[in-house]
Amino acid sequence: MFLAGIATHLLYRIYEARLLRRLDRSRIPRHIGVIHDGHRRYARKEGLPDYKASYRAGMSKFIELLHWSEELDVEAVTCWLLSTENLRRPSEELEPYYDVLIELFDRVPYEVHGQDLSVKFIGNLDLLPERLLKAAKRLEQSCRSGSRRLSIALAYGGRQEIIDATRDLVQRLVAQGFPPAAIADNINADALARHLYTADLPDPDLVIRTSGEARLSGFLLWQSAYAEYSFVDVNWPAFRRVDFLRALRDFTRRERRYGR
């Protein structure tokens, strides 16, 4: 069994090297969105003592993703770590997850040192407990000036983002003195896009979702209209570099039509 494991690991390393050699670097996506799904299923499948062990495994994988993205010069990554729907889970599930997220946010600055990475949190952050919000702010403060961009979606819902953007745009038009009759005429796709949480980023080129679920669940609804999608069968804590490379390989082979 031990020798079989070594052999399997060696084969994957060879396969990774082959994927890297054949990857068209000129077509690497500028912006990748990731839905980190499957922590609880992973815990049950692996017989872990509790979900917290699975969360920690998933957050270590999150750190690996940052290194993989930096290696391939991906300009922006947006990671969905907590949805508004997740907040309805019982506290005995949420509190351990908050603990692990705080550990992660305190760890990231040391892990990405030298990567020229800036971090921004998006979502309805007022819904977060104070201790988690403070950890998020510490991370933003520690990583605020890099040219590569990491956006972390917490208490995030795609429909709510569009509602918030619309409200913000209408408030801006009112503040600029537009009469009520003219407000509707000034609400358009370009204007609304400037008020989204990710207004300072290019739209995602590729969205990856783990755990085998083939749906967006509201992730970057507006921005992902013309993104390519990769639905990966493995749960997030088991996501491997080879899975990431295969998703990129498939992306570089696609002909993007942008709805045309």
Sheet of 206-209, strand order: 117-122, 148-153, 76-80, 31-35, 206-209, 228-231
Is 235 considered catalytic here? no
Question: Is residue 258 left, alpha or beta, with left meaning phi > 0 and alpha meaning psi from -120 to 50?
Answer: left
Dihedral sign for Cα 104, 43, 237, 225, please.
Answer: negative
Separation CA 158–CA 127 (nearest Å)? 15
Q: For this structure, is 37 an active site residue?
A: yes
Give the HSE-up count for residue 111: Cα atoms under 13 Å, Cβ half-sphere.
18
Q: Catalytic residue, from 50, 73, 86, 250: name it.
A: 86
Helices 91-111 and 130-142, packing angle to 10 deg? 10
* Exposure string for 194-226, b = 16+ CB within 10 A, e = fewer: ebbbbeebebbbbbbbbbeeeebebbbebbbee
- Give the residue numbers marked as catalytic: 37, 86
